[in-house]
Amino acid sequence: MFQKTLVWLFISLNTIVFAQKTYQVKGVVLDAITHQPLEGVYIIGDNLHAVTSVTGEFSINGVLEGTYNFKISHISCKHKDITVIVGPDMPLIKILLDESDNKLDEIQLVGKTKKRIIKETPTVTELVSKDFLVKNRENSLMQTLSKIPGVSTIKIGSGQSKPVIRGLGFNRVVVVQNGVKHEAQQWGSDHGLEIDQYGIENIKIIKGAASLVYGSDAIAGVVDIEPNKVPLENSFKGEVNLLAESNNDLLGISLGLQKRKEKLFYRTRLTFRDYADYKVPTEKINYDNYIFTLHDHNLRNTAGTEANANFSVGYISNNVISETFISNVYAKNGFFANAHGLEVRISSIDYDASNRDIDLPYHTVNHFKVINNTSIIFNNHTLLFDIGFQNNKREEYTEPTSHGYMPKPSNTKERDFHKKTFSLNIKDTFKPNGNHIIVAGINTEYQDNNIAGWGFLIPAYNRFTIGGFAFDTFKINSDFHLLAGIRYDYGVIESKAYNDWFQSSVDNEDGSTSLIYLQRSQNKTLDFGNISASVGISYINNKTTYKANIGKSFRMPLANELASNGVNYHMYRYEKGNINLEPEESYQLDLDISHQFKNSSIGVSPFANYFENYIYLNPTSNYFQTQQIYEYTQAKVVRFGGELRATTTIFENLQLNASTEYVYSRQTSGPKKDFTLPFSPPFSTLLSANYQFNDFRFLKEPQISADFRITADQNEIVPPEEVTSGYQVLNMSFLATIAAFNKSTPLQLKLKLNNVFDTKYYNHTSFYRLIDVPEAGRNISIALTQTF
Amino acid sequence: MKTIKLGFIASLMLLLVASCSSEDDNEKDLQKPTISLNYDAGFPKACEVLTKGETYHFKAQVTDNLELAAYSIDIHNNFDHHTHDDQEATCDLGTIKDPVNPFIFIENYSIDQGLTSYEINVSITIPNTIDTGDYHCSFSVTDVTGWQSVTSMDIKIVE
C-alpha cells in the first residue's frame, strides 16, 4: 500500500470543426504505473469544465477558437495549470503531474474515488482491485478472494474451488463475468470455477441478498467480475506472468496483450498451468478404519493441467462502447486415488510411478463463452445489452466396478454433464436529474442440460427464466443515499425422464420379485414465480459511513432437488428429490459501519438472515437398497454473524490489519431442527502485517508481509459431518520490483511461503475433509510479472 | 463521535451474543450409532469362508445413545479387488476374474422403536447357482437422527 505511485496525466487534446467554428476538446487521463484510467479528474477553465469518466476520458463541446487556461486537479496529485490554444490543427499536449508529497495520503486518496462510490451504495459491497489480486494470488481465483472477510471456499484439491459467502455457496452465490451469469455445474462440490484468474482487473463482491439485480440464486451474494477498462487511444500494452510452486511442482505462464487504435481495440490472454500431485504434511491418511500410506507425502493422483484462451474485440465512440469476448477455459484434474467420493478404492494402476501423470479417476472441464456487452449513451440514458452463449462440459472418468444391481460398466465414463446457456440482459440507467439514478431492466436465460455416462446424479433438464426489475438510487443530499427496488421473476423447469441402464430386483405385492429398469427421474414441467425487493440507505457522516440494507431474495429449486431419485455411489447414499419444493425465500438485514481515523480505520458488518424454506439434503434413518436415504426437504433457517475489520499504520512503513468472520446458522424447523447447515465455516481471524523497506540495491520498493490465520474448532455439525479442530497457519510473502528491462515498467517479483510451519490441519469446507485429508503442506512460490 | 461509538458497541455486542449463543439450549444428538462383530457370536468375521447351499446367521451388535432406527446388509462380489474391508486382518484374495452370475444380497430392515441396543440376526442361504470367489459383506445401521455407521469385511464363498 505504500508503493510510490507516479501519476501521469496524459491528455490528448484534439478538435473537431463545427459549423459555428467551435471545437471539441477531448482528452484522456490515466495512471502511468497501473495504466488504469483515472476517474474523477477535474478539468476546469473559464465557464468550461469536465470530469473524467470511468474510462478516464473527458470532452468539452462548443469551445470557440482562442487561448484557454485549465486547472487540472485530482485528489491524489498536485494541481497543475495548463494553457491550451484551441483552434484548427491543435498539437497533442502531454502533461506530467507530480505526485503528492505524502505517499500515504496519496494512496488513500487514490482509492477514495472508487471507495466513495462504494460508500454511497447502500448494499454491503467489497471492491477487489487488480493490486489486491496480484499481491494475494493463490492457486485459484476463489482461494485468492478467501482473504476477504466473509468470503471462503468449498474446494477440492489444489487448484479448484467454489465461492462461499458467509457460509452459503453452490447455487446460492452467483458469479457474473462481463455482465453475464456464469453457468456451469454450480451444484457439484467436486470441481471448481471455470474462470481464468489472470487478466481480471476488478471484482465486486456483494455479501448479502442480491436477487434484486442478479435474479435467482443471488440469495447469499454475488462475485461480479467486471469488464476491464477500455484501453487508451493509440496504446499497446502487454503483460507476461510466470509462476512456479514447490508443493505441487506447478509451472504457469500467462500472456496478456491489448491494443487500441482510435475506435477499435483488441485484447487477448493466454494462460497455461500444469501441476503435479500436491503434498500434505502427513505420511498416512486415516479414514474410517482405513489407512492410506502416501508416497513422499504426495496426495496420489491430484495432478492437473489448465489451458485458457481469451480474445476480445471492441469498438468505442462517443456514445457507444461495444465489446465481444470469446473465451475457452479447459482443465483436466485427477482425483485422490484411494477414495472415490467416500468409497475406498483399490486399483492396479501404479499411481506412484509419476506424480505428474493424471490417471483414473479424473475429470475434464471445458467452458466456452461468447459474450457481447454493448452500451449506448443518449440524452440521460445509458442502455446496456449483454448477450451471452456458454457451453459447459464436464466429464468424469473412473475405473468401472459393479455396485448393487449395477453390473460392471464397459467403459470409464461415469458422468457427463453438458450445459448450454443463452443469456440476454437489457438494462437502462436513466439520470433524470442530479438526484435520481433509475435503473430498469430485464434478464432472460435459457439452459439446456444434458447428461451421459453410466452414473446418474442429476436428470437432464431445460430451464427458462425471465425477470424484470427497477430500482432508484435517490440522493437525498450528497452524504445521504437511498436505494429501493423491486423485481419479479418467472421460471420454467422441464426435467427429463431417466431409467437405469441395468435391471434391479424389486419386490412385488404378491411376494414375487421382478427385474425392472428403475425410473430415476420423470418428465415434469414445473414453473415458479417470485418477487424480490430491497431497500437500503447509506449515510456518510464525515469519516464515518453507515449502511443499512434489507432485502428479500429467492432461488429456484434445481432439477436434482426436484427430480433426482437414485443411488449416488460416490457418496454412498440414495438421493431423493421432492417435486413439491417451493422456491427458497430469504430475508436479510445487513448493516455496515466504518470509520476512518487519522492513521487507521475500523469497520463492522453484521447481518441477520431468515430463510422461510431452505432446501437441504436431509439424511434420514431409512434405507433403499442398503443405501441411506437422503431426502431434499425444506426447513426454516435463522442465520446471523458478520465481519470485523481494522487497519492501522504504526509508523510510515508498517501496516497492520485484522479481520474476523463469524456465522451462526440454525435450522428452526424440520427433521434437523436445532442443527446447523452443512459446510458451516468456523469462526476465523486473519492478522496481517506489512512492512516496506527502503530500496536495497536493485530491489525497489521491497516489502514483506505476514498473514496469520487463526481458526476455531467447528463443533457445529449436521449428519454426516465430523467435528473439525481449529488451526493456526502462517503465510509470508515478499514483493519487490526490479528495473530489469525498462525503468518505467519494472519486473515485479513475488516470493511466497505458504504454511510456513508445514502445519497439518483440516479445512471444514474442503471436499477432501470428508475423507480426512489434511490441507496442503508448505509451499514456496515465485511469481514474476513483466509489463511492456 | 458518540453515535459512532454506540454503533460500534452495539455491533460488537451483536457479534459477541452471536458467538456466545452457539452454546445450545436444546440437546442435539451428535453421536453416531456403533456396530460391532467383535464378540463370540458376531458373524461373519473377517476372511470367513462360506459354502454354497449353506444357511448362515449373520449377527452384529448395534447400539446408539438415543434410539436405533434401521439397518441393512449388503453382499457383493470383489472379483476385481476394487476395495478392501476395514478389519485389521488381511485376507488372501483369489485371482481377479469377471463375474458371470455373482451373488447379490441387498436387504434393509427396520429396528423396533425405542431401542438403544440391538443384535442384528439375519439368516441368509447362499444359493447354489452363484459364482464362487471373493465377496464383500457390509452392515450399516442408522439412528433416529440420521447418523449412520458402516462396517465391512472380506469373505469368500466356496463350492
DSSP states along A735-749:
EEEE-SS-SSSPEEE
The answer to whether the CB atoms of A621 and B144 lie below 8 A apart is yes
> What is the rounded distance in angstroms from the CA atom of residue A738 to the CA atom of residue A470?
50
Q: Quickly tell me which residue has 478404492 as its cell.
A: A345
**Pick from A611, A497, A622, A613: nearest CA to A559:** A497
Asked if A286 reaches chain B (Cβ–Cβ under 8 Å), the answer is no
Residue A120 is given by DSSP the state H
Q: Is A261 on the interface with B (CB under 8 A)?
A: no
Q: Which of residues 21-50 of B touch A (CB under 8 A)?
A: 21-22, 24, 26, 28, 30
CB atoms B107 and A401 under 8 Å = no
Phi-psi region of A249 (alpha: psi -120 to 50; beta: other; left: phi over 0): left
* Residues A130, A263, A84: CA angle, nearest 5 degrees: 90
Question: Do β-strands B148-158 and B48-51 pair in parallel, antiparallel, or remain unpaired?
Answer: parallel
Least confident of A111-125, B96-110, B111-125: A111-125
Residue A722, chain B, CB below 8 Å: the answer is no
Q: What is the mean pLDDT of each run of 10 residues along chain A (788 residues)?
A: 33 36 76 67 79 77 79 72 74 57 36 67 85 86 89 82 89 92 84 87 88 88 91 91 93 95 94 94 82 87 94 93 96 88 79 88 94 93 95 93 86 93 95 91 95 89 95 91 94 92 88 89 90 93 92 89 80 87 93 91 94 93 91 95 93 91 94 92 94 88 93 92 93 91 86 94 87 91 92
Q: Are B130 and B149 in contact (CB under 8 A)?
A: no
| CB within 8 Å of A225: residues ≥ 6 apart | A175, A176, A177, A178, A195, A200, A202, A203
User: What is d(CA A528, CA A685) in angstroms, rounded to the nearest whole number?
Assistant: 40
Q: B146 vs A593: CB contact, 8 Å cut-off?
A: no
pLDDT value of position A106:
34
Are A506 and A516 a contacting pair, CB within 8 Å? yes
Amino acid at A418: H
* Amino acid (one-letter) located at A621: S
Residue A33: φ, ψ to 5°: -70, -55
* Upstream peptide bond of A720 is cis (omega within 30 degrees of 0): yes
Which residues of chain B have a CB within 8 Å of the CB of A406? none
Q: Could you tell me where the beta strands, DSSP code E, fall in A114-249?
A: 125-129, 151-156, 160-165, 173-177, 180-181, 202-207, 221-226, 235-245
Rounded to whole angstroms, how far apart are CA atoms A372 and A387?
5
B113 touches chain A (CB under 8 A): no
Q: Which residue of A has its CA nearest to B86?
A: A289
CA angle B122, B151, A297 (to 5 degrees): 165
Nearest-neighbour CA in chain A from B133: distance (Å)? 15
Judged by CB atoms closer than 8 Å, whether chains meet at A626 and B145 is answered as no
Q: What pLDDT score does A625 carry?
A: 85
Give the number of C-alpha atoms closer than 13 A to the C-alpha of residue A75, restricted to the C-beta side. 15
C-alpha span between A629 and B148 (Å, rounded): 11
Interface mutation target, options A545, A628, A659, chain B, most CBs of B under 10 Å: A628
Rounded to whole angstroms, how far apart are CA atoms A499 and A496? Answer: 10
pLDDT at A33: 60
- What integer pLDDT is reported at residue A97 of this predicted model? 61
Sign, CA torsion B39/B43/B46/B49: positive
Q: How far is A252 from chain B (nearest CA, A)?
A: 36
Show the cell assigned to A285: 491418511
Residue range A121-787, CATH number: 2.40.170.20
How many angstroms separate the CA atoms of A284 and A259, rounded?
Answer: 52
Residue with cell 467551435: A22
What pLDDT score does B156 carry?
92
* H/E element, A562: helix A559-563
Residue numbers in A near B144 (CB within 8 A): 621
What domains appear along chain B, each with residue ranges and CATH number? 29-158 (2.60.40.2550)
DSSP assigned state of A769: G
Q: List A residues 629-658 in contact with B (Cβ-Cβ < 8 A).
A: 640-642, 644
Q: Is A441 exposed, middle or buried (0-12, 13-18, 19+ CB in 10 A)?
A: buried
For residue A570, what are the contacts with CB-CB under 8 A and spacing of at least 6?
Answer: A340, A341, A342, A343, A455, A457
Rounded Cα distance between A204 and A125, Å, is 7
Residue A177, C-alpha cell as written in the block: 463475468
For residue B156, how many C-alpha atoms fall within 13 Å in the half-sphere facing its CB? 12
Chain A contact for B100 (CB, 8 A cutoff):
no
**Taking CB atoms and an 8 Å cutoff, what residues of chain A touch B69?**
621-622
Q: Which residues of A touch B138 (CB under 8 A)?
A: 626
Residue with C-alpha cell 467452458? A367
What is the structure's pLDDT at B9?
Answer: 52
pLDDT of residue A55: 73
How many Cβ contacts (< 8 angstroms) between chains A and B? 137
Surface-to-core class of residue A83, CB atoms within 10 Å of its CB (0-12 exposed, 13-18 middle, 19+ buried): exposed
* Closest CA of chain B from A613, distance in Å: 20
The tens digit of pLDDT for each residue in A658-677 reads 999 999 999 999 999 999 99
> Which of B72, B77, B145 lies at the smallest CB-CB distance from A719?
B145
Q: How far is CA A155 from the centre of its chain?
A: 14
Query: Which residue in the set B84, B86, B148 is minimally distant from A628, CB to CB?
Result: B148
CB-nearest to B146 from A404, A621, A627 is: A621
More confident residue, A587 or B8: A587
330-389 in chain A: CB under 8 A from chain B: 343-348
- Contact in structure between A630 and A666 (CB atoms under 8 Å): no
User: Collapsing DSSP states into helix, strand and coil, what is residue A550?
Assistant: strand
Alpha-carbon Rg of chain A, whole angstroms? 28
Question: How many angstroms separate the first and last alpha carbons of chain B?
Answer: 88
Q: What is the CA radius of gyration of chain B?
A: 24
CA–CA separation, A641 vs A262, rounded Å? 50
Asked if the C-beta of B83 comes within 8 angstroms of chain A's C-beta atoms, the answer is yes
**DSSP letter string over A605-637?**
EEEEEEEEEEEEEEEEEEEETTEEEEEEEEEEE
A19 and chain B in contact, CB less than 8 A: no
Query: Model confidence over A483-516: pLDDT tens digits?
Result: 999 999 999 999 999 999 999 888 888 888 899 9
Determine, for residues A402 and B77 on separate chains, whether the beta-carbon distance falls below 8 Å: yes
B70 touches chain A (CB under 8 A): yes
CA A341-A342-A344 angle, 5° bins: 105
Nearest neighbour of A345 by CB, restricted to B30, B82, B110: B82
Q: What is the pLDDT of residue A1?
A: 34
Distance from CA of B66 to the nearest CA of A (A): 13
Would you give the end-to-end CA distance of chain A in angstroms? 23
CB proximity B13 to A under 8 Å: no
Question: Does A548 contact chain B (CB < 8 Å)?
Answer: no
Quickly name the fold that domain A22-100 has.
Immunoglobulin-like (2.60.40)
Task: Among B4, B15, B108, select the one facing A623 at the smallest CB separation.
Answer: B108
Contact B142 A622 (CB under 8 A): yes
Non-local CB neighbours of A85 within 8 Å, separated by 6+ positions = A66, A67, A68
Phi, psi (degrees; rounded to nearest 5) at A412 = -95, -5
Interface probe for A, chosen from B15, B64, B91, B93 (most Cβ of A below 10 Å), is B15
Going from N- to C-terminal start, the domains of chain A cover 22-100, 121-787
Please identify which residue in the block is written with the cell numbers 458478520: A642
Q: Which of B15, B143, B145 sits opposite A662 (nearest CB)?
A: B15
Quote the CA–CA distance of A186 and A174 in Å, as a whole number. 9
Longest C-alpha distance within chain A, in Å?
103
User: Could you give the CA distance from residue A137 to residue B153 in angstroms, rounded to a whole number?
Assistant: 46
Contacts of B26 in chain A (CB under 8 A): 674
Band of pLDDT at residue B26, cut at 50, 70 and 90: low
Measured between CB atoms, does A668 come within 8 Å of chain B? no
A675 vs B: CB within 8 A: yes
| Dist. CA B3–CA A543, nearest whole Å | 12
Structure confidence at residue A5 (pLDDT): 33
Contact A270/B at CB under 8 A: no
- Any B CB within 8 A of A624 CB: yes
